[in-house]
Amino acid sequence: EDTLNVPVKIPIMYLPMHVGIFGSTGSGKSNLMMVLIKSIIDTNLDAIRKPNADKPRLSAFCIDPHDEFAKGVDKYGIQSIVNDMSSTTRSDVIGDFYYLTTHKSATTRDIRAYTREIRILYSEIQPRDLYSIREYTSEMSSFIDAQYHAAGENWIESILSMDEDAVSGSVTLGTLRAVKRRLSFLERSPIFIDSGTSILDEIFYAMETGRILVVNTSLMSDTEQFLLTTVVTRTLSDMRRALKSSGNLGDFDTQGQKRLPHSFFNRVKQKARTFYGKDGVADSSEVRDPRKLPVIQVTVEEAPSILNPVLMRGQSVFKDISRQGRKFNIGLLVVSQQVSVLDNVILSQMNTEINLRLGNEREIKACIENASVNITGFENEFRVMSRGEAIVTASYRELPLPARIPLFDTVYEKDRHRYKDNKTKKEEEHIL
C-alpha cells in the first residue's frame, strides 16, 4: 500500500487535555517517547530562536523506567542532541541538567555532566500523595490525617518515631503498626530523605521555564517511582492552583502558604514570583494566567498501578489533574500496555490517543471503546499492525489517522544540523 509522507502533529493546546499511549510490549512506546521528547526540544528551540513570535514553550517530566532515553536504544539518544548543541543553545533549551537519577556515580561521563540526583524531603510529601498510590483503610487514613493536623509537615517523622507504648485513645496499636509498615519503604529509599537538599525546587524551576527532564527510574521500586511522580505532579499543580486563585502576588503568597508544605514554599516563593508576576515581583503585581505559562506534561508510566478504579475512588492527585489540568496547563501522558484496567474518569478525560500494536482481543476492544473518535469496526486494522504503526485518535479530529512512527535515530539524523549553532538561524528566517 502507498503511504503519504505527511507529518502528524498534536497541537500544544490539546496536551493539557491528556494523551494516552497504548501498546503491548515491543510495540514501540519507548521509541515514540523519544520522538516526542525530541519534538518538545525542537518546539522550544524554535520558540527561543524566534522570540518575537510569542511561541509557547513546553515542559515535560518524562519517566524512563528502563533508562533508555538519554543513551538511546540503538545509536542515538537524547544525549546525542545535547552533545550537538552549542553552549548557548544548550543553556537556553536544556539548562544545567536534564537527567535525573538515583545515583549520579552510576551514570556515563557525558550524561553525568547533565545529571542531578533525585532527592525529596519527607516534609514535601503530603498524606494525599500516599493515598494516590495505594489504598488505605479508613482507620489508617484517619490516624495519618490526625498526625498531619498535629505535626504538619513533620508528620512522617512523627509517625515513624512514635513510641508504641504511648498509643492511646482511638488509635489501636494495630493501626500504628500498619501505618509504620506502610511508611517503612521511605526509610530504605535513597531518594526520600528526612534531611538534606531536595531536588523539588529545581524540578519546579525547570518545569516553569520550558524544559525537559528525563527521569531514570530503573533502579527504583514501583512505589518509589509512583510516589515521586505523585509528589512532583501535586506540587506543580498546587503551585499553579495557588496562582490561579490569586489576583496579585501578595495573594499568591497567602494561597501558596495554605496549600504547600511551608519549608518548600518558602524556598521557592521568590523565584516563583519571577515566573508568575505580570509586571515585576512586588506584592501588588498582577499574576499571569496559568494558561500563558509553559504547558507541563507529566508521564505516568505503568499507569494501571495508579490509575485504576480502586485508587480513583479516593483522593487521587491524578483524578484531579485529569479533570482540572487544562485550567493549569498541566497534562498527563499516560503510557500503558493495557487500556482495559484504567479508570473511566481518566479515560474519559483523555482527548488524544496513540494506539500502537496491542496484545490481545480484550485490549483491542478496550482501545476501540475508549478512542476519542468512533473507530468501531477497526479490529482488523489493530490485528495487522506492526511495530511503530499506530492509529491516532483525537476528539478534535473527525477521522482516525493511521500513522507510522519514525525511528528516533532516523529523525535525529535528519534534523541534527538544527542543534549545531545559531548560524542556520538567518537562513531559517529567510525561508519564512
Ligand X SMILES: Nc1ncnc2c1ncn2[C@@H]1O[C@H](COP(=O)(O)OP(=O)(O)OP(=O)(O)O)[C@@H](O)[C@H]1O
Binding residues vs ligand X (CB under 6 A): 23, 25-31, 73, 387-388, 405, 407
> Which has the closest alpha carbon to 133: 282, 1, 319?
319
Q: What's the closest the beta carbon of residue 259 comes to ligand X, in angstroms?
A: 36
Strand-pair partners of 277: 287
Nearest distance, CB of residue 414 and ligand X, angstroms = 14
Q: Which residue is nearest to ligand X (CB)?
A: 388
Q: Is 251 buried (19+), middle (13-18) or exposed (0-12) by CB count in 10 A?
A: middle
Q: Which is nearer to ligand X, 179 or 405 (CB)?
A: 405
Distance in Å, CB of 214 to Mg ion, minimum:
13
Question: Least Å distance between CB 29 and Mg ion?
Answer: 5
C-beta closer to Mg ion: residue 25 or 105 = 25
Tell me if 391 sits within 8 A of 355, measured CB to CB. yes
Choose between 31 and 349: whose C-beta lies nearer to Mg ion.
31
Which of residues 78 and 407 has its CB atom nearest to ligand X in the complex? 407
Give the residue from 340, 383, 333 showing the smallest Cα distance to 354. 333
The residue of the chain with the least Cβ separation from Mg ion equals: 30
CB of 410 to ligand X, least distance (A): 9
Residue 270 near which of ligand X, Mg ion, none (CB within 5-8 Å, type-dependent)? none
Q: Where are the beta strands (DSSP E) in 322-388?
A: 330-336, 352-355
Q: To the nearest whole angstrom, how small is the minimum distance from the Cβ of residue 326 to Mg ion?
A: 28
DSSP state of 278: S
Nearer to Mg ion among residue 212 and residue 321 (C-beta):
212
Considering beta carbons, is residue 60 or 321 the nearer one to ligand X? 60
Q: Which residues pair with 298 in a beta bridge?
A: 61, 332
Cell numbers given for 140 = 489508617
Nearest to 48 by CA among 7, 79, 12, 92: 92
Options 25-33, 122-130, 153-161, 393-401: segment touching Mg ion (CB under 5 A): 25-33
Which partner from the list Mg ion, ligand X, none does 31 bind, CB cut-off 5 to 8 Å by kind? ligand X
Amino acid in position 311:
L
Q: Which does 407 bind (CB under 5 to 8 A by kind): ligand X, Mg ion, none?
A: ligand X
The per-residue DSSP string of 233-295 comes to: HHHHHHHHHHHHT-SBHHHHHHHHHHHS-HHHHHHHHHHHHHHHBSS-SSTTSBBPPGGGSPE
- Nearest-approach distance from CB 211 to ligand X, in angstroms: 23
Q: How many CB atoms lie within 10 A of CB 377?
A: 8
Maximum distance among all Cα pairs of the chain, rounded to whole angstroms: 77
User: Measured between alpha carbons, how far is 183 from 186 in angstroms, rounded to an integer?
Assistant: 6
| Residue 380 site contact among Mg ion, ligand X, none (CB < 5 to 8 Å, cut-off depends on kind) | none
**Alpha-carbon distance 78 to 351, whole Å?**
27
- In this complex, which beta carbon is closest to Mg ion, that of residue 260 or of residue 298? 298
Size of the site for Mg ion (CB under 5 A): 2
Asked if 299 interacts with Mg ion (CB under 5 A), we say no
Q: Is 30 in the site for Mg ion (CB under 5 A)?
A: yes
**In a 3-state reduction of DSSP, which class is residue 332?**
strand
Point out which residues bind Mg ion (CB under 5 A): 29-30
